[in-house]
Structure 1
Amino acid sequence: MPEVIIPGPAGRIEARYEESEIPGAPIALILHPHPKAGGTMQDPVVITLYEMFAKRGFSTLRFNFRGVGRSQGSFDAGPAELSDAAYILDYLESINDSARACWVSGYSFGAYICLQLLMRRPEIDGFIAVSPPANHYDLAFLAPCPASGIIIAGDKDGVAAPSDIERSLTKVRVQKGEEIERAIVPGANHFYQDKLEELEATAAEYLDRRLAAANPSTLPSIEELEDEIDDFDEEE
């Protein structure tokens, strides 16, 4: 995962980028937790999401918001971080101009920024938001939510409790044909301590299901090929 330094709106932005070898591969942008709570792109949940997308052939990028790590600038409590995310998405699209799909994902504060970005970028096809802190940020701005995605939370989360997320989502509408799914990781706290594998499995199940629906295989199965061979032998 090579390090990249991107000239950003407040100076350089430190990032990690995994380029897919697949022509026209989809892209994924991963956003990290609150900088004032120690959030960086090296967070274990962020890395878990990053690696999950990369393993599925996505060209995947994560970065440090301004003022974090080697990224220049100062924390702005949301507006400037959203600007960073939009700028980095532009960059990711510019180096993957034939990408067949665009996904965004984030954890905690990064999930909030992820959902804000979703409302502003119609090219985003799906999202995975992990533990958005609905007790601090109202999700009513998802009105209507323009793309399908999933919100994942831990049932032991004292920071972004599932009940807060559900209460916030009661105000949310979605565009026709889109859906916001919800999933709970049993036993997981806000940091997914000892539950990263379960988190990845939950996110991967959703992503795999969406990818299969978007790109149904047109190739015959092994059984179908064997039947065709048997039929050909009988004709001979």
Structure 2
Amino acid sequence: MPELIINGPAGRLEARYHHESASDSPIALILHPHPQFGGTMNNQVVYSLYHTFVERGFSVLRFNFRGVGRSQGFWDGGPGELADAACALDWLQLVKPDARSCWIAGVSFGTWIAMQLLMRRPEVEGFICVAPPSNLYDFSFLAPCPSSGLMINGDIDRVVPSSSIAELTGKLKTQRGIKIDHEIVPGANHFFEGKMDELTDIVGRYVDMRMTQIPKEKEKAKASKEPPPPAPAEVEPGDEEE
């Protein structure tokens, strides 16, 4: 887990990166919670997500948004943090240009940035949103949501009620070809204190399931774009063979 410095849009971005030697290893970018409320790339949930992907053969990057830790710059309320995330994903794709799959994951505020990035990057095939603050931020830009993914929260989360996330998930489920799963962890608060094993298990099983499905999804999408075979030529009257 070497320390890494990425040249970001507002100066350096402090990061941690796990590299898989296989040239086509899938990639994942992890985004941390709200910087102004203590969120960093070393957040417990971020750390858990990072290792969940590492254990499944992904090359994984997590980083500190501008103004956090050793990252330069200042809090920008969203636009600057989105630019940071886009820059981090660019770096990851330059390092792994042959990655067979691209994922993004976020925690709380990080999910709002992750989903905005998802809308701008069609190569992202899967996402994990942990405790998305759908009651605090506008997620209406997910129209339509371009990829399937997982929403997960705790049932005693006092920051983001389950009903708010269920409503968001319900809206996204209406879109053709997109499947949004919603899991609720009993007894878990906004920070999943004492419930990390349950969170890790749910995310791990979901990633395993999707990684078996994505090749099939790609084949189906490819087949739907292929032009139909040409229709047989019609025989004009009098042209029949004698």
TM-score (norm 2): 0.86
Equivalent residue, structure 1, for 2:46: 46
Equivalent residue, structure 1, for 2:100: 100
Question: Runs of 5+ in structure 1 lacking a partner?
Answer: 217-236
Equivalent residue, structure 2, for 1:125: 125
Equivalent residue, structure 2, for 1:86: 86
Give secondary structure in 2 for the equivalent of 1:57.
coil
**Partner Cα distance (1:135, 1:125) in 2:** 25
What is the RMSD of the two structures over their aligned residues, measured on CA atoms?
1.3
Distance 1:76 1:93, change over 3 A: same
TM-score (norm 1): 0.88
Shift of 1:139: 1.8
Residues 26 and 100 in structure 1, CA contact (< 8 A), matched pair in contact too: yes
Shift of 1:140: 1.6
Question: Runs of 5+ in structure 2 lacking a partner?
Answer: 217-242
**Partner Cα distance (1:63, 1:83) in 2:** 13
**Partner Cα distance (2:140, 2:210) in 1:** 25
**Partner Cα distance (1:171, 1:141) in 2:** 12
Equivalent residue, structure 1, for 2:3: 3
The percent of aligned pairs where both chains have the same amino acid is 56
1:130-181 Cα distance to aligned partner (Å, 9 max, x none): 0011111122211000000010010010111111112344444665311111
Q: Does 1:158 align with 2:158?
A: yes
Residues 9 and 84 in structure 1, CA contact (< 8 A), matched pair in contact too: yes
Equivalent residue, structure 2, for 1:220: none
**Partner Cα distance (2:96, 2:118) in 1:** 19
Aligned residue runs from structure 1 range 1-236, under 5 A: 1-172=1-172, 175-214=175-214
Equivalent residue, structure 2, for 1:221: none
Rg bigger for which structure? Answer: 2
1:17-51 Cα distance to aligned partner (Å, 9 max, x none): 00012231000000000000000000000000000
